[in-house]
């Protein structure tokens, strides 16, 4: 929040602000209540800032990944539990960093120039179905 506030004076028309959410922001997740609540708050900040920035040409969206294979995630959760989480997604696996990166690149590009106040999930359908 503070980073966006400080960066706004330097932000020009056509810029894209991408906030990092999580699929847990739209679903109850045991033992992650505070984390889930903060991710839900990020979604609301994006919606509110999209209204606040109306007419400036600055877009604000949320990128919400689901289970994504990273070294830290494997270390914290463990490979077996992580793979079980991946098999719970409709896609049947965990995501790869390149898949999340591709969506971030899209949101940063002019290809998403008519998107603001939205949330894009890269979660294998985990929080969607």
Please identify every residue annotated as catalytic.
Answer: 35, 39
CA distances from 81 to 34, 73, 97, 99, 102 (A): 21, 10, 18, 21, 26
DSSP 31: T
Q: Write out the DSSP string of 49-68.
A: HHHHTTTTT-EEEEEEE-SB
- Find, among 121, 129, 77, 122, the residue nearest to 95 by Cα: 122
């Amino acid at each position: 929040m503070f980073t966006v506030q400080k960066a706004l004076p330097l932000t020009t028309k056509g810029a894209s602000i991408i906030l990092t959410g999580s699929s847990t922001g739209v679903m109850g997740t045991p033992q992650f209540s505070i984390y889930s609540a903060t991710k839900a708050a990020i979604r609301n900040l994006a919606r509110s800032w999209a209204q606040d920035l109306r007419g400036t040409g600055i877009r604000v969206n949320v990128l919400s990944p689901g289970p994504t294979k990273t070294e830290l995630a494997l270390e914290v959760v463990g490979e077996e539990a992580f793979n079980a989480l991946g098999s719970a997604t409709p896609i049947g696996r965990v995501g790869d960093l390149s898949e999340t990166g591709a969506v971030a690149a899209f949101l940063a590009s002019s290809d998403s120039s008519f998107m603001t106040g939205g949330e894009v999930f890269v979660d294998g359908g985990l929080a969607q179905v």
